[in-house]
Amino acid sequence: MRFDNTFYISDLLGILTLITILVGGLFALYKWNKSMRIKRADYIKSLIDINNKEMILETFSLFDYDIKWYDNSFHGSEKEQKIDFTLTYFDYICYLNKMGVFDKKTFLLFKYQVDAIVKNRQVHDYFYNLYHYSKSKGIEFSYHYLIEYAIKHDCINKELFDKTSYRKYKMYHKYLNWID
C-alpha cells in the first residue's frame, strides 16, 4: 500500500473555503441569535407597556386589594369588559410562559400579578361561573392558562369544578345560567 504525500494548491483552497464557510456560518448564527434577543426584549417591553395601561392598572387593583367586584350586576357591565380584558392579557402571559417564551427571570416581571389574580376570591367566583356556564354550552373555558397555572400552584379549590358548590360554600354564587 502506498500513500501519495503530494499537496496541491486546490487542496489548500478547498480547506480555506471550508474554514471561511464555517466562520461565516458561525458569525451568521451569532448575529441571528443577537437579533432574536433584541426582538424578544422588544416583545417583552411591549407586554410591559400593555401591562402599564391605565385600564389594567385600575382593574388589577381590584384583585390586589381583594375589593368586591363580582356580583349579580357584573355581567354585561363596563366593569366586565375591563376585567375580561385584564384576565385575557394575563391568560396570554400564562400561555407564553407555558410555551417557554419566557425564562424564569422574565416571568418574574409578571408573577406577582398573576399570583394575585389566581389567589383572588372574586376571581375564583367568576371562574366558577364561567367554567360551569362554558361547560353547559359545550365551549372552552376562556381563561384556560390562568386556571392551569392556578391548579399547578395550588391556588384553586377543587370545589370550583363541582357545579353544585354554590349550594354548599359561601364563596361561590350562581350568577350565570347553567343547569345543575
45 alpha carbon, distance to own chain's centre = 15
Cell of 144: 384556560
Q: Which residue has the higher pLDDT, 133 or 9?
A: 133
Cell of 149: 397555572
Q: Are residues 62 and 141 in the same domain?
A: yes
For residues 27 and 126, give the distance between their C-alpha atoms in angstroms, rounded to a whole number: 52
Q: Are residues 74 and 116 in the same domain?
A: yes
Q: How many domains is the chain built from?
A: 2
Residue 180's pLDDT band (cuts 50, 70, 90): low
For residues 147 and 48, give the distance between their C-alpha atoms in angstroms, rounded to a whole number: 22
Q: Are residues 71 and 154 in the same domain?
A: yes
Listed in sequence order, the DSSP H helices in 52-163 are: 54-64, 78-98, 104-119, 121-137, 144-152
Residue 39's pLDDT band (cuts 50, 70, 90): confident
Q: Are residues 31 and 118 in the same domain?
A: no
**CB-facing half-sphere around the CA of 5: CA atoms within 13 A:** 0
Q: In whole angstroms, how large is the CA radius of gyration of the chain?
A: 27
Mean pLDDT, to the nearest integer, of 124-137?
94
Q: Are residues 14 and 84 in the same domain?
A: no
Q: Are residues 23 and 82 in the same domain?
A: no
For residues 59 and 157, give the distance between their C-alpha atoms in angstroms, rounded to a whole number: 23
Work out the number of other CB atoms within 10 angstroms of the CB of residue 170: 7
Residue 179 has pLDDT above 90, yes or no: no
Q: Are residues 72 and 139 in the same domain?
A: yes
In a domain, 178, yes or no: no
Q: Domain span at residue 21?
A: 7-39
Q: Are residues 138 and 71 in the same domain?
A: yes
Q: Are residues 125 and 150 in the same domain?
A: yes
Q: Are residues 80 and 126 in the same domain?
A: yes
Q: Are residues 81 and 130 in the same domain?
A: yes
